[in-house]
Amino acid sequence: MGLSLRHTIHQKAETATDLLSLERSLRKLLVGKLEDRDRIQALNLACGRADETGVLAKIISEKTQNGHIEGLDLRAPEIAGANQLWKPALNNELSEGENGASKISCDFRIGRADQLDQWKELDSPDLVFIRHQNFWFDPKAWIKLYNQAINKLREDGVMVITSYFDKEHEMARQVLTKLGAIEVSHRFNPEAKLVKDSPKIEKTVDRHISVFVKV
């Protein structure tokens, strides 16, 4: 099982290296999770342009033959870009899927992830994924977002968050724990790549990755 898609073909070499590192970390952190399912429904919250869609599709395809990734973000241009890039890329993979490989589809929507209860049509996800979670941006909204994401998550689902910053990761972790989630695995990458747009504070790509389950 597993997609043969060359997920990074459309992306800059720098981004491709980050994505490869994310893929390796997720594969390790999700060992024994999301197994034996006919289908995996993933919800990528605050997904931006969702560069990691290929990685998610690949990880999902290693665990099941059918999957769907739904992305949600406030920013319209990023969502348009994600739909433009990833729908055709995964649809091409779909035709390979008919010959035995996995079939993973995707869709990206503009919307508030802290108002998830309004998205009645979204299935309960097996996997909630939040890359470079943005707790500092609006703590109240993000507490709501986490609460609703945990409520929406299937009982046997997993939630994965990644962070640019140590402190922001710790804050998210504390909120999630208070909301009743349990952290079951974590990876700190001390060699994570520095993001150049923020020279004064240590902002690095996928510096922390944590996996949570529901109590």
In whole angstroms, how close is the CB of 172 to ligand SAM at the nearest point? 12
C-beta neighbour count of 137 within 10 angstroms:
10
Binding test (CB under 6 A) with ligand SAM, winner from 37, 87, 109, 112: 112
Q: Name, in order, each residue with C-beta under 8 angstroms of 23's C-beta and a sequence gap of 6 or more.
A: 55, 58, 59
Helical pair 53-61 and 76-97, crossing angle rounded to 10 deg: 30
As measured in angstroms, the least distance from the Cβ of 97 to ligand SAM is 26
Is residue 114 close enough to count as binding ligand SAM by CB under 6 A? yes
In the window 42-61, what residues touch ligand SAM (CB under 6 A)?
46-48
Contact call for residue 134 and ligand SAM (CB under 6 A): yes
Closest distance to ligand SAM from the beta carbon of 88 (Å): 20
C-alpha to C-alpha distance for 98 and 40, rounded to whole angstroms:
18
Q: Are 15 and 51 in contact (CB under 8 A)?
A: yes
Which residue in the shown chain puts its C-beta closest to ligand SAM?
A: 48
Kindly state the smallest distance separating residue 50's Cβ from ligand SAM, in Å.
Answer: 7
Radius of gyration of the chain (CA): 16
Give the binding site for ligand SAM (CB under 6 A).
Answer: 46-48, 72-75, 78, 112-114, 131-132, 134, 137, 141, 145
